[in-house]
Amino acid sequence: MNPNNKFTDNETNRNELSESEIKMLYKENVQRTAPDMERLWSRIERTIDENGQKEADTADSASRGMIETNRDSSRRMAKLTAWAAAAVLIVSVGALALNREKPAKDNTDNTAKTEQYTAGGNDSMAEGGAAEQLTETAPPIERTEYSALPLAHSGIKTADYKPSGDEYFAESRVLEKTSEFIDVRVQYAEEHTHYCTYTLKVIRAYLPDGEEEGTTLTLDSASPLLLAEGGEYLLPVYTDSKGLHLVFENAPQIEYTQDGRVVFHNGWYSLGEGSAECIYPENKYDEFFFDRMRIADAGNVKTLIERWRSL
């Protein structure tokens, strides 16, 4: 061997390691550097167990809380239901007691009624006046035959009289001449050659500043359209030195029916609201107004009186 080639020889020996030696050295190196797998697996399993237990504990706690919450809610709901049932029972018993103690309410309190404005009011009812009857709200007034009306007399009577005063009717002019309106019932009608004398029971007198009741008057009139005994009328009148007179004799007077309506000619426009045609019997003394008659609710008389008082 050449002494000058020591290094070369050593390298040659190192490089000449057998394959088996190399594998052995690799295994030794792996064993030295590799982790302890058993410990690693033990740590992993322990971590898994701990986390699983925590999740189980958490789920169990949540479940127990939910159960407790549901139990509390059920208890509260049961209490509320019991309180509500008790309240309903108390209210029902109280209402029953009140209904037993309270008298039945008259259904007529809720029924619309129409007050008929004429002289008498309740007093006129006591006196037999038809003007202030309180009736159930009637259906709209329709075209009506005068002969079919509920009147307190047998029908129209005429006489061969020559009326005095104006020939043509105008409401404003009649109101200006009227000193009072009187709601009257005819007790007697005594016919004379040129006029008729009426004995009138005054149900109510409408004055410019008030009203009066209950007296008896005598009226002479030359109107050919007679006031019927037993009939009720609203008369515009005035007084002079000769006594009491009708303001307008050349037309039918305002007449009340027994069911709280008024019949009038269409010259009385203050009475016209809600009115309908009234078929009046034609006669030779009433050639102008017989086809101009109307029928309306007697409450319209209030409008007429108010207009007269406002002049």
SS3 content of the chain, % helix, strand, coil (to 5): 40, 25, 35
pLDDT at res. 111: 35
**Residue 239 placed within a domain:** yes
**Residue 238 placed within a domain:** yes
**Residue 1 placed within a domain:** no
Number of domain units in the chain: 1
**Residue 34 placed within a domain:** no
Q: Which domain holds residue 272?
A: 121-310
pLDDT at res. 12: 45
From first to last of the 311 residues of the chain, give the pLDDT tens digit.
444 444 444 444 444 567 777 767 766 665 665 555 556 556 656 655 555 555 555 545 544 444 444 445 555 555 545 455 544 444 454 444 444 444 443 443 333 333 333 333 333 333 445 545 444 555 789 999 999 999 988 788 888 999 988 889 999 999 999 999 999 999 999 999 999 999 999 999 999 999 998 899 999 999 999 999 999 999 999 999 999 999 999 999 999 999 999 999 999 999 999 999 999 888 777 667 888 999 999 999 999 999 999 99
Alpha helices in the chain (DSSP H): 6-15, 19-33, 37-101, 121-126, 171-177, 300-310
**Residue 17 placed within a domain:** no
**Residue 65 placed within a domain:** no
CA distances from residue 68 to 54, 81, 82, 206 in whole angstroms, order as listed:
21, 20, 21, 87
pLDDT at res. 190: 96
Reading phi first (left if > 0) and then psi (alpha if -120 to 50, else beta), residue 274 is in left
